[in-house]
Amino acid sequence: MSQKPNMGNPAEPILGSLADKTFWKKQRNELELMHSKWVKAVDFHAKTAITRFMEILKFPGGWLRDCCDPSDEDESLHTNAVRRIIIKKV
């Protein structure tokens, strides 16, 4: 009769020797460590990008402040419409 595979933990392969199991566990631990470092790096860079983007938008005379001619109503209207659309997506 053939043996049924171990269905308890599908991530763990069916390995024969202790050396194979030890090697697999080491590989899994390294992968988990690499993944957690990657998640932290992505989080850091995302927060940094958002902060820098908002600094660009808010600098004196920047895109969110006093960048258009107040006497030109069309320009002001269009700029405000674009700002509303962009800020919702940001």
Structure token digits, residue 48: 């940094």
pLDDT(73) > 90 = no
Q: What is the pLDDT of residue 1?
A: 44
Q: Do residues 38 and 46 lie in contact, with contact meaning Cβ atoms separated by under 8 Å? A: no
Collapsed DSSP state (helix, strand, coil) of residue 69: coil
Cα separation of 55 and 63, whole Å? 10
Cα separation of 72 and 74, whole Å? 6
Cα separation of 49 and 54, whole Å? 9
- Quote the pTM value: 0.49
pLDDT(4) > 60 = no
Domain positions in the chain are 27-89
Task: Give per-residue pLDDT as tens, 35-62.
Answer: 999 999 999 999 999 888 877 777 666 6
- Residues 25-33 have a mean pLDDT of 94
